[in-house]
Amino acid sequence: MNRVSAQTDFSGVFREAFSFEHEYDPAAQVLRLEAEHLPQAFKLFTEDSRLKLNYLRDMTAKEGPEGQLFTVYNFVSLELKHVLMVIARVSEDLVVPTATSHWDSADWMEREAYDMFGIRFAGHPDLRRIYLEETVDFYPLRKSFKLDEVPNVGDLGGRERELAKVKAKEEKA
Amino acid sequence: MAVKYEQPKVWDLRWDDLFTEDLVLNVGPQHPSTHGVLRLVVTSDGEVIKDIEPHLGFLHRGMEKHSEIKEYRQIIPLWERNDYLSAMHMGYMVTSAAESLMDIEVPRRAEYIRVIMLELQRIASHLFWFASFALDSGAVTPLFYALKEREKIVDLFELASGARLLYNYIRPGGVRRDIDAEFMEGLAAFLKHFNRYLDECEQLYSGNAIFINRAKNIGVLSREAAINLGVSGPVLRGSGVEWDIRKHEPYSIYPELNFDIPIGENGDVLDRYNVRFYEMRMAAEIVRQAMDGLPEGDYVTKVPPSIKTKQGEVYVRQEASRGELGCYLVSDGGKNPWRLHVRPPSFLNLGALATMCRGYMFADLIIILGSIDIVLGDVDK
């Protein structure tokens, strides 16, 4: 596990700036909120002199145990050397405000999250699938997508087994 | 939209109001200089690049999904195929993510061996970059020099782990096998001449006037742009940002070691080139220090064959050869990860290509792409 050089407690800043409900854990440096409040949070992250989170190092999504989707952002301030992880709960309509308005690094990472989870990012300049074909109609990293039920993979295994049986028979004869 | 960062106004200098039709050109996916299967759709005005749109996914193997149905030990060799030129770093990534959700203490000897391997891997990877970068810029000879030297490191890895490309060596609890006297002898012999070898390379190539004219002031990425685009590693440091995870968010035994971080001035191709060369020297220095301080003791702690992690989520990161290699692991307390996301450095570095190339000539595209040092397996996951 990495040792972080500056462990700043942001609870005062967040309490002062956010009028909505949020949950902040200073020990783990994790902020949890609803995705609809993200634009307000992004504005604070870049503009507040106590935060200055200028580097979005990672952005992804995850699925909770009950099928609830979350987007996860990892920030670091290259100037003040502190970090913050933001976990935002995605609403039912699967639309999340984009982070590209502040950080260009979010561009491809949001396309990836859209590709893998089907989360649409409102305001993204070019929201297309990044790895898979546009014609694909599933979102592979959702838990409802089962790897062993993909027809191709199963077929290949079955076909190989058949071939092995044929070969074994031939060897016997 | 507000302007987020300033870039040098190369496009404005070369642009004129003479109407010429835009040329759209496909580079790749089968092209020797794209280092794999990468398709670039280049829009240019005459020979001046206007915009580049990379198309990814030709090598997408769905590794994140596969990680969810495999156990931690099975994931390590899987992810080593992600960035096959720095497989040690990939192995360490999965290991450190799993270890930070486990209650185990890694022996100090194991940490030292890991750092020796990680830094040797960095040298090997940078040497391979030097070989291909020189080819991209039109020189063939450095390829043989670089690969000859890389071969010695690969031989050392073979001695330690038995494999030459994908090692499966670093694992939860420590490393797979202890290093022996033969390895230490070979390592000492390698380090003895390595700095002299680098001097030779720099005489051969870095000081070459033709190369400098080719690489200077090409593909400039400004400091603000580099930060906003999220590039990392030598590309970020080449743009003048002092940020190295080994120094600023240290892991393993890096805080005990003494090394410098090279930083560029202009953020051009030449700066990225020089940063990588200096990093090789520093990596050799780190290996030397770790070798001198190598303690006696266990090389692995006892870990059950089927690893279970605590419930929780963690984002671990390390400075791999190409930049920040992050791993976001969510565990539900089971034998396999609930979600394992990897932040590949090449992916985000490639995202800065269009910004770097805008306004430069079409002939510069290949050398700029070479200076980013991408591995397509790493980009496509």
Q: Is B133 helix (H, G, I), strand (E, B) or coil?
A: helix
Q: How many CB atoms lie within 10 A of CB A120?
A: 16
| pLDDT number for residue B5 | 79
B352 in a domain, yes or no? yes
DSSP B183-251: HHHHHHHHHHHHHHHHHHHIIIIIT-HHHHHHHTTSS---HHHHHHTT--THHHHHTT----HHHHS--
Q: With a CB-CB cutoff of 8 Å, which residues 47-106 of chain B face chain A?
A: 56-57, 60, 62, 64-66, 68-69, 96, 99-100
Euclidean distance between CA atoms B316 and B379, whole angstroms: 19
CB A107 within 8 A of CB A128: no
B158 in a domain, yes or no? yes
Q: Is B28 helix (H, G, I), strand (E, B) or coil?
A: coil
B280: CB partners within 8 A, 6+ apart: B122, B123, B126, B127, B198
Q: Which domain holds residue B205?
A: 63-380
Dihedral pair phi/psi, residue A27, rounded to 5°: -70, -45
Question: Can you give the residue ranges of every domain in chain A?
Answer: 11-134, 143-173
Pick the CATH number of A11-134 from 3.40.50.360, 3.30.200.20, 3.30.460.80, 3.40.640.10: 3.30.460.80
B45 in a domain, yes or no? no
Q: With a CB-CB cutoff of 8 Å, which residues 250-309 of chain B face chain A?
A: 250-251, 255
Q: Which residues of B touch A57 (CB under 8 A)?
A: 230, 232, 317, 324, 326, 343
Q: How many domains does chain B have?
A: 1
Given an 8 Å threshold on Cβ–Cβ distance, is B328 in contact with A141? Answer: no
Can you read off the two tokens belonging to residue B7?
């870039």
Euclidean distance between CA atoms B38 and B120, whole angstroms: 28
| pLDDT number for residue B117 | 93
| pLDDT number for residue A153 | 47
Q: Helix, strand, coil % (nearest 5) of chain B?
A: 50, 15, 35
pLDDT tens for chain A, residues 1 to 173:
677 767 788 888 888 888 888 888 888 889 999 998 999 899 888 888 888 888 999 999 999 888 899 999 999 998 888 889 999 999 989 999 999 989 999 999 999 999 999 999 999 998 888 988 877 778 888 888 887 766 654 455 565 667 778 888 888 87
| pLDDT number for residue A154 | 44
Q: Which residues of A touch B4 (CB under 8 A)?
A: 102-104
CB B303 within 8 A of CB B117: no
CB B170 within 8 A of CB B92: yes
Q: Which residues of A touch B241 (CB under 8 A)?
A: 78
B290 in a domain, yes or no? yes
pLDDT tens for chain B, residues 1 to 381:
457 777 777 777 776 677 778 889 888 788 777 777 888 999 988 888 888 999 988 888 888 988 888 888 889 999 999 999 999 999 999 999 999 998 888 999 999 999 999 999 999 999 999 999 988 888 888 899 899 999 999 999 999 998 999 998 998 988 988 898 999 999 999 999 998 998 888 888 888 888 888 888 888 999 989 999 999 999 999 999 999 999 888 888 999 999 999 998 888 999 999 999 999 999 999 999 999 999 988 888 888 888 888 898 999 999 999 999 999 999 988 888 999 999 999 999 999 999 998 888 888 888 999 899 888 888 988
| pLDDT number for residue B279 | 92
Euclidean distance between CA atoms B346 and B21, whole angstroms: 33
Q: Is B266 helix (H, G, I), strand (E, B) or coil?
A: coil
B108: CB partners within 8 A, 6+ apart: B253, B295, B297
Closest CA to A112 of A101, A127, A122: A127
Interface predicted TM-score (ipTM):
0.86
How many contacts (CB atoms, under 8 Å) link A and B?
104
Euclidean distance between CA atoms B32 and B52, whole angstroms: 18
| pLDDT number for residue B2 | 57
- B29 upstream amide cis, omega within 30 of 0: yes
DSSP A92-118: TT-EEE-STTT-TTHHHHHHHHHHHH-
Indicate which CATH number applies to the domain containing B97: 1.10.645.10
Q: Is B11 on the interface with A (CB under 8 A)?
A: no
B25 in a domain, yes or no? no
Q: How many CB atoms lie within 10 A of CB B237?
A: 26
| pLDDT number for residue B27 | 87
